[in-house]
Structure 1
Amino acid sequence: MKAIVKPSNQLQGEINALSSKNYTTRYLLIAALAEGTSTIYYPAHSEDSDAMRRCIRDLGAIVEEDEEKIVITGFGKHPKHVSELNVGNAGAVLRFLMSIAAFCPDVTFVNTYPQSLGKRPHHDLIQSLEQMGIQLQHQDGRLPITIKGGKPRGGKIQVSGNVSSQFLSSLLFMTPLLEEDSEIEVLHDLKSKVIIGQTLEVLEQAGIIIHASEDLMHYKIPGRQAYQAKEYVVQGDYPGSAAILAAAAVTNSDVKVLRLETDSKQGEKACVDVLKAMNVNLTHENGTVHVQSNGTLKAGEFDGDHFTDAVLAMVAAAVFAEGTSRFYNVENLRYKECDRITDFLNELRKAGADVEERQSEIIVHGRPQGVEGGVEINAHFDHRVIMALSVVGLRSAQGLVIHDAHHVAKSYPQFFDHLKSIGAHVELVED
């Protein structure tokens, strides 16, 4: 499917933020790891969360769902022995479940997206699992990956944190179930520490004890723990909402996004502060972000590691700011569904943006007058790229045609419906 995003000068209305993908996938997993029945209210529906639903079902969880909630009877530390698991294009789901699959004797994670997830490396987690006595077969760290497990052992474990925090999260979900106590040391830097904060928050809610150092680089995890069956409520999603807020910021707007908790631990909540720093007129009170913009923004400098999944949307806003913006400490964007620095900036240039890249930086020379557009865009099968380029298309003179736009469903299936509901001119056409 392609999205034809046309110039849209005025946006107005209110929407409910979609439910958080990150929290939904984590709640689904901890519910599956509990022995008993858990209830998750307002779960997200996206390709990622649906992949987790599918895989925990394959591993033996009983999953029942209605419009409001999902009820899961878990398998504890005894997943069903399956020969294959298909996570689709969901990297976090793959990485979380690689550790859980170590309780099974022989599982292969298949490669159904060779041009996207199939290109992403997982060496860091593979090396950690090998330290725990697990044998793995892989394609230079990539899918398909076969895990020959059954009896993972605890003890001292090292994991690199300089590519993704998901490897550490994976180990934190699994190690409490081991017979032995574990101690995890994070090597190098740890990217996206705020997301580790979400993992620790969810684990604590499930009754799991983790002793984390203040800098989140060392962990002591008692073994022989059990996940408790609980009730969970999924909060609104900041990463997806960042694109809606950016769209409102670059146009004449009066837009409210509801269900965005002011005390959320989602790092992408920082997108609100980024837009304020860009001189966007907005308020954030009682879970509602209210943007009243005239489309005038000013440039700034921002540490993107604090809001990884909102960086592209903020870059899209900066395309129209007065002055030069710099987003630094963002190298981990290179290791996502695509290279979100090189690939994304190449598409921005096609649209008429003036952007530069460094290994871990994105530099945007703003064009307050707008960009020309009128070109066809390769979305690189990446939901964040699709959303960010849609923002640019709204403020372009001739619009943009974004190919493979259906991949937005990976995290935000209702994205184009929500945009249109507040006045954006978007046409969806089957290729």
Structure 2
Amino acid sequence: MPVAEIPGSKSITARALFLAAAADGVTTLVRPLRSDDTEGFAEGLARLGYRVGRTPDSWQIDGRPEGPAVPEADVYCRDGATTARFLPTLAAAGHGTFRFDASAQMRRRPLLPLTRALRDLGVDLRHEEHEGHHPLTVHASGVEGGEVVLDAGQSSQYLTALLLLGPLTRTGLRIRVTDLVSVPYVEITMAMMRAFGARVRREGEVFTVEPGGYRATTYDVEPDASTSSYFFAAAALTGGEVTVPGLGKGALQGDLRFVEALERMGARVSVDPDATTVRGTGALRGLTVNMRDISDTMPTLAAIAPFADGPVRIEDVANTRVKECDRLEACARNLRALGADVATGEDWIEIRPAERLTGTEIATYGDHRIVMSFAVAGLRVPGISFDDPGCVRKTFPGFHEAFAELTRRLELE
């Protein structure tokens, strides 16, 4: 039975780096994700004056509850959305002048709901070129705290950034959310904040965070559930079996719920205390599924949808249009290029069964999830290639090698 060793969660690693930097003491992160995104986050912390030490299996971060150790810095956030949204918020709690910029891809992604909320809290923040986008400069003098209203309908990262800031404010935060997508990611944030000693609670649409800072700890990073989706989908598509250790019933990541969709399609799923196994049955059923809360796995499901015996309709995924690319449209275009029958709307995509698909070069739009998703389709469609296969370095630099090894082992079953 193939066992897939999945790298650490990107979402958890990014949050842990923020929490470690803000905590009082030295934090050790065990098995963090080492990828372009997380290395960019760690590099950003170093630019702000935080010490980040590395061993092959862990990172050590010297926390600074008072904020960055330097009075001014230029930070390049690369392609990382968590880096681009979390680090300016962390810097705002300190004192100094801090400029943030990012790649052309990240510059296009929206930031305004977060920066508007920070301004409402008294943060002196200026967008240098286009309102609501990088680059931006923060003239930091600490954050008093108080009440703020936030629209997190485009990205839960706006809310996560404010929640993480809360314990660093002088009086705490009370955040009223008017819209919220990807709720499981917010639940990850609150669970991790509590692991670092913070007090945070939710009552309906209101999130309350008490002041008091964070305390350093040793934190184990669980495998990435979004990345695991490609390996689980491979098992469902080929009739094979894949187990991901370290990702079970106690997992923080909501994206593990992707296996529920595979189960509805006919796969056999076993979620144990410390591992999850998916067994394909040789057939996939069509379904209609709401993926609002697990939208990072939408491309994975879309890529295997043509092989189902009925239509696959994925709903409530408008937020996928403002990711690294317009993922909904990218999936539709690539599926059509393969020969699939696809319809789309503002927040949905429907893929109908295909009698025959033909391999082609997949347009990746520089998006790691498009590459990894259509690599799964490649298990049934010979001749699939990618215009930018290397963009997987964002979250899983060794993906192609790991997936090829999995494919080999599935074929030997």
**How many Å apart are 1:273 and its aligned residue?**
0.9
**How many Å apart are 1:16 and its aligned residue?**
1.4
Does the residue aligned with 2:77 lie in a helix, a strand or coil?
coil
1:174 paired to 2:165? yes
1:105-184 to 2 correspondence within 5 Å?
Answer: 105-111=96-102, 113-114=103-104, 116-138=105-127, 139-184=130-175
**How many Å apart are 1:250 and its aligned residue?**
1.3
Q: 1:148-183 CA distances to partner (integer Å, 9 max, x unpaired)?
A: 222333111111111111011101111211112321
Residue number in structure 1 paired with 2:215: 228
**How many Å apart are 1:399 and its aligned residue?**
1.9
Does the residue aligned with 1:344 lie in a helix, a strand or coil?
helix
For the 8 Å contact 2:367–2:392, the answer to whether it is kept is yes
Aligned equivalents of 1:97 and 1:54: distance in 2?
11
Residue number in structure 1 paired with 2:367: 382
For the 8 Å contact 2:185–2:253, the answer to whether it is kept is yes
Q: 1:183-227 CA distances to partner (integer Å, 9 max, x unpaired)?
A: 11112x2001110000000000000011321x3x2022223x121
Aligned equivalent of 1:39, options 22, 25, 28: 28
Residue number in structure 2 paired with 1:277: 264
Aligned equivalents of 1:403 and 1:424: distance in 2?
24
Residue number in structure 2 paired with 1:400: 384
**How many Å apart are 1:294 and its aligned residue?**
4.8
1:185 paired to 2:202? no
Aligned equivalents of 1:166 and 1:355: distance in 2?
30
**Compared CA separation, residues 286 and 382, structure 1 to 2 (3 A):** same
**How many Å apart are 1:285 and its aligned residue?**
2.6
1:198 paired to 2:188? yes
Mark the runs of 5 or more structure 2 residues left unpaired by the alignment: none
| Greater alpha carbon shift after TM alignment, 242-251 vs 256-265 | 256-265
Q: 1:43-68 CA distances to partner (integer Å, 9 max, x unpaired)?
A: 11111211111111222222112122
**How many Å apart are 1:286 and its aligned residue?**
4.2
Residue number in structure 1 paired with 2:88: 98
Residue number in structure 2 paired with 1:413: 397
AA matched with 1:127:
R
**How many Å apart are 1:383 and its aligned residue?**
0.8
Aligned equivalents of 2:358 and 2:202: distance in 1?
50
Aligned equivalent of 1:71, options 45, 53, 60: 60
**Compared CA separation, residues 236 and 370, structure 1 to 2 (3 A):** farther
Residue number in structure 2 paired with 1:298: 285
Residue number in structure 1 paired with 2:73: 83
Aligned equivalents of 1:259 and 1:366: distance in 2?
34
Residue number in structure 1 paired with 2:324: 337
Residue number in structure 2 paired with 1:8: none
For the 8 Å contact 1:320–1:370, the answer to whether it is kept is no
For the 8 Å contact 1:370–1:395, the answer to whether it is kept is no
For the 8 Å contact 2:339–2:357, the answer to whether it is kept is yes
1:314 paired to 2:304? no
Does the residue aligned with 1:423 lie in a helix, a strand or coil?
helix
What percent of counterpart residues are identical? 28
Does the residue aligned with 2:24 lie in a helix, a strand or coil?
coil
**Compared CA separation, residues 117 and 92, structure 1 to 2 (3 A):** same
Compute the TM-score of the two structures, normalised by the length of structure 2: 0.94
For the 8 Å contact 2:47–2:74, the answer to whether it is kept is no
AA matched with 1:26:
R
For the 8 Å contact 2:48–2:73, the answer to whether it is kept is no
Aligned equivalents of 2:151 and 2:232: distance in 1?
34
Aligned equivalents of 1:175 and 1:252: distance in 2?
47
**How many Å apart are 1:82 and its aligned residue?**
2.9
**How many Å apart are 1:424 and its aligned residue?**
5.2
Residue number in structure 1 paired with 2:340: 353
**How many Å apart are 1:261 and its aligned residue?**
1.9
For the 8 Å contact 1:15–1:257, the answer to whether it is kept is yes
For the 8 Å contact 1:270–1:306, the answer to whether it is kept is no
For the 8 Å contact 1:326–1:363, the answer to whether it is kept is yes
**How many Å apart are 1:13 and its aligned residue?**
2.5
AA matched with 1:208:
A
Aligned equivalent of 2:206, options 206, 218, 225: 218
Q: Aligned residues, how many?
A: 405
Aligned equivalents of 2:282 and 2:131: distance in 1?
47
Aligned equivalents of 1:123 and 1:295: distance in 2?
46
**Structure with more relative contact order (C-alpha pairs < 8 Å, separation 6 or more):** 1
Q: 1:267-318 CA distances to partner (integer Å, 9 max, x unpaired)?
A: 1111111101000134333433333325420011111012121111112122
Aligned equivalents of 2:269 and 2:73: distance in 1?
51
Aligned equivalents of 1:357 and 1:77: distance in 2?
48
**Compared CA separation, residues 22 and 370, structure 1 to 2 (3 A):** farther
**Compared CA separation, residues 253 and 211, structure 1 to 2 (3 A):** closer
Aligned equivalents of 2:241 and 2:158: distance in 1?
40
For the 8 Å contact 1:60–1:74, the answer to whether it is kept is no
AA matched with 2:220:
V
Aligned equivalents of 1:279 and 1:294: distance in 2?
7
Aligned equivalents of 1:248 and 1:294: distance in 2?
9
Task: Point out the structure with the larger helix share.
Answer: 2
For the 8 Å contact 2:67–2:90, the answer to whether it is kept is no
Does the residue aligned with 1:13 lie in a helix, a strand or coil?
coil
